[in-house]
Amino acid sequence: MEVLVGMIQSVGVVSDRVMAALVSGLEMEFGRDAGEALAHRFLMAEEVDFHWDARVQERWIGVYIGAIEGEDEDDFELDRVRIIGILDGRWFVAVMIVDGDGNAHGMMGKRDFRREREARAAFADA
């Protein structure tokens, strides 16, 4: 007999833990004063991937017509996908450019919210 055990945590807790681990690792490498500042710079540099991974819900909103810098648009189809999620303790709603394999290639816009309710209203309104 096999027993499966699972643990459920809110995305906010996981997001906060990931950010804390990033800050902690950078503090060990570069010193306490630099850890948080570097974490935020790292987050900005990789914001498309971080936001895509932090999504809690997504909705297809249409085909993306246009070119992504450095990408050959003949190789795959791109879609516009609206997402909602929480990252570093803040809720956000964004429009992502995503390929058919579910890989994010860009972010067209993002709005931050203090409360989940506000973010869900913006997500539903689009």
pLDDT digits (tens, 9 = 90+) for 5-39: 444 444 444 456 767 788 888 888 888 878 878 87
**Could you tell me the strand order of the sheet in which 104-113 lies?**
55-63, 78-87, 90-99, 104-113
The two beta strands, 55-63 and 104-113, are unpaired
For residue 81, CA distances in Å to 13, 57, 76, 78 come to 24, 10, 16, 10
Check residue 66 and report its DSSP letter: S
Higher pLDDT, 60 or 7: 60
Alpha carbon 39 to its chain centroid, in Å, reads 15
Mean pLDDT, the chain, rounded, equals 81
pLDDT in tens, 79-95: 999 999 998 889 999 99
